[in-house]
Amino acid sequence: QVQLLESGGASVQAGGSLRLSCVASGSTISNYCVGWFRQAPGKERERVGTMFRDGSTDYAESVKGRFTISKDNADKTLTLQMDNLKPDDTAMYYCAAALGGANSRTCRQYNYWGQGTQVTVSS
C-alpha cells in the first residue's frame, strides 16, 4: 500500500505562484494513477488534474494553462505547480492515488488519500 503526505500550502496574493508536493511512502506511485483534488468550504470535492500511468496529464478546465502536474524520476514525489493563482483557487488540496485500470489511461477508484494542505489566495 501507499501513504501520501502533502505539503507546501500557504497564503498568497492573487497572481502569485505556489508549488505543492506530495510524498509517497510504503510504495512508489509508478503503477498508480495519481492526481490532485481540492475542496472549498460548502462545495463538492473537485478534481484538479490527473497524471496517468503513461505520464500523460489531464486538467480541469478551471485550471488548464495555469497548473502543471509532474513526478520525480524515482516516482516518490508528485508536484503541483500553480501559477497565476486566483481567489477561487482557495481550497484544501489533496493528492490521491488509484490503481490503474485495464490500460495506461484508465484508473480505478481513488482509495489512497493524503491529509490535505491549505491554499489561500487573497485578492
Residues 6+ apart with CB under 8 A from 95: 4, 6, 20, 22, 34, 35, 36, 37, 78, 80, 113, 114
C-alpha cell at 71: 513526478
Q: Report which of 70, 105, 75, 92 is spatially closest to residue 2, judged by C-alpha positions.
A: 75
Q: What pLDDT does residue 1 have?
A: 85
The per-residue pLDDT for 13 is 98
**What does each of the 123 residues of the chain score in pLDDT, given as a tens digit?**
899 999 999 999 999 999 999 999 999 999 899 999 999 999 999 999 999 999 999 999 999 999 999 999 999 999 999 999 999 999 999 999 999 999 999 999 999 999 999 999 999
Distance CA 108, CA 68 (A): 22
The alpha carbons of the chain give a radius of gyration, in whole angstroms, of: 14
